[in-house]
Structure 1
Amino acid sequence: MKIFQCTTDTAREIAAFGSRNLSMARILNSEESLHVGCMFIGPEGLVGRHQAACEQLFLVVQGEGVVKGGDGNEMPIQAGYAAFWEEGEWHESKSERGMTVIVFEARKLSLHLKEAEYYNR
C-alpha cells in the first residue's frame, strides 16, 4: 500500500479568468484523457467565469458555495452535491467561507449520480 497527500501544500495557485484565493492539486490523468483534480477554494474565493474545455463534474466534498452555469442563474451548492457543465458552457463558482471540490474533466463523462431536486442550504 502507498499513501499519497492531497492537501493545500501539494496544490498550485490559480489566477486565470480573474480567479482569486484558489489552488488546485492534480490527482491523476489517464490514457483516456481523464483529468481529476482537487480545488481548494478559500474564503471569498472565486473560480472566474470561463468556458468548459470539456465536460466537467464539480463535486463538493467540504464546505459550501455558489455555482453558475450558462443560463447565468446562481445555485447554492454544498458538500455531497455536484454541478455538471457541458463542453463549451460558460460557468463560474465561488464561496464565502471556502469549499473543497473534486473536479473530473473528460471529453465524455458517464454520470451515475441521482439528479438533485432543489434544496435549501
Structure 2
Amino acid sequence: MEFYKFSKDSGKRISKFDSNFIMSRIIQTDKATNIGCMHLDQNGIVGFHQAVVPQLLVVITGEGYVRNDSEEYFKVQSGDAVFWEKDEWHETKSDKGLTAIVIESVELNPSLFMPLKK
C-alpha cells in the first residue's frame, strides 16, 4: 500500500491557451482501464478483499480509513490517493462518508505522476 497526494500544492500551473489553473496529474494508461466513482455513506465500508488488478483510490471528498493485510488502519481524506498492487488485501471504510474515484488497470504506476504523501 502506498500513499500519494494530488492536492493543489502538488500540481502545476497551466497557462497555455490563455488558461489560468493548476493541474494535479494522477495517472496515464495505455491498457484497458476501469474508472468509477465510489460513494460511501456514513459507516460505509468496502469489505476486506484482494485487488484483482492494481487499484488506485483517489479521495475527492470526506474522510475514512484504509488498510492492507495488516490490522492497522490509516486515515485518508480529500487530496489523498491510495495504491494497492494486484492481489494485495485491502479495505476502505468511513464513519462520516467519503467519495472517491477508483481506477483499476493492469498498468498503473502512480509514482510517475504524483508525489508520495509524507
Please, what TM-score do these two structures have when normalized by structure 1? 0.69
> Structure 2, unaligned stretches of length 5 or more?
1-28
Q: Which residue of 2 aligns with 1:114?
A: 115
Q: Does structure 1 residue 39 correspond to structure 2 residue 38?
A: yes
> 2 CA distance for matches of 1:71 and 1:47?
16
Per-residue deviation at 1:108? 1.7
Per-residue deviation at 1:69? 1.2
> 1 CA distance for matches of 2:115 and 2:75?
17
> Structure 1, unaligned stretches of length 5 or more?
1-29
Q: Does structure 1 residue 72 correspond to structure 2 residue 86?
A: no
Contact 2:30 2:107 in 1 (8 A): no
* Structure 1 residue ranges (4+ consecutive) displaced by more than 4 angstroms after TM superposition: none
Output the aligned Cα RMSD. Answer: 1.5
Which protein, 1 or 2, shows the higher relative CO under an 8 Å CA cutoff with sep ≥ 6? 2
Judged with a 3 Å threshold, the aligned counterparts in structure 2 of structure 1 residues 63 and 71 are, in CA distance, closer, same or farther, namely same
Q: How many residues align?
A: 88
Please, what TM-score do these two structures have when normalized by structure 2? 0.71
Q: Which residue of 2 aligns with 1:104?
A: 103
> 2 CA distance for matches of 1:31 and 1:79?
27
- Give the share of equivalent positions with the same residue, in percent: 39
Q: Which residue of 2 aligns with 1:58?
A: 57
Amino acid at match of 2:76: I
> 1 CA distance for matches of 2:55 and 2:92?
13
